[in-house]
Amino acid sequence: MDYKELIEKLDQARMPHHVGIIMDGNGRWAKAHNRPRLFGHRAGAKATRTAVELAVEIKLEVLTLYAFSTENWSRPKKEVDGLLKLVKEKLYDEMPVLHNNNVSVHRIGSNMNLSDEYLNEIDSSMSTTHNNSGLRLNIAFNYGGRLEVIDGIKKLYAKAELNPELIQELTPENFGDYLYTAGLPDPDFIIRTSGESRMSNFLLWQSAYSEILISPLYWPDFDKVAFLSALLDYQNRKRRFGGVKAK
């Protein structure tokens, strides 16, 4: 099927403002093809480019991609080193194209375990796009949802030393101002590939009322047709946010 046929079926009035994707299955895809895991991660990088291309084409506002979790450090050193190298390499390769397409690229996540040199290189690369006004692309890199909440609490208390009233004024709504995603809408829709039915520490606070779709496809096989099919599924849902369906 031509993916453009599916674009025509999208209801622009019901598009999600923010989509998060847990890009899972690179290793199993590689195993299924009798290739090493890093080969799967490189194939996954191509799928990432495809997803971003579509997000730009359909004028999605925010796309957050789970690229590397705080738990991924427990993987074999060779794989971790290869992933870190791949992330930096692909950022350098893709940044001119992203910039030309008005995409604003940002990293969300922790600085722990990463060298200052590495962080400066990738953050400097992304900073060239920060004034762009199109798609906001978040790379959740060295990211963990629980750690994000802890970092948010620390940030709140640091500010409360100067303004103690911030503690009393804290609400579920304004706590988001202390998270990595401050200023952004919560994800309306989260997609996870590879058939696994868990959140894996991804946007835990922000996803309280996100719609979730589990795709059986491994991430390298998640193409534009699959992405659009997921969005059409989202548009067929009735979101109630804890309430009841209106009569």
Q: Is 72 a catalytic residue?
A: yes
**Residue 212: φ, ψ to 5°:** -125, 135
Q: Is 101 a catalytic residue?
A: no
Contact indicator for 141, 68 with CB cutoff of 8 Å: yes
Q: Choose the catalytic residue: 2, 24, 123, 174.
A: 24
Pick the closest to residue 21 from 219, 238, 157, 209 (CA basis). Answer: 219
Q: Choose the catalytic residue: 2, 72, 102, 174.
A: 72
Strands 104-108 and 136-143: what pairing?
parallel
* Radius of gyration for the chain, computed over Cα atoms and rounded to the nearest angstrom: 18
Residues contacting residue 172 through CB under 8 Å, at least 6 positions apart: none
Known catalytic residues? 24, 72
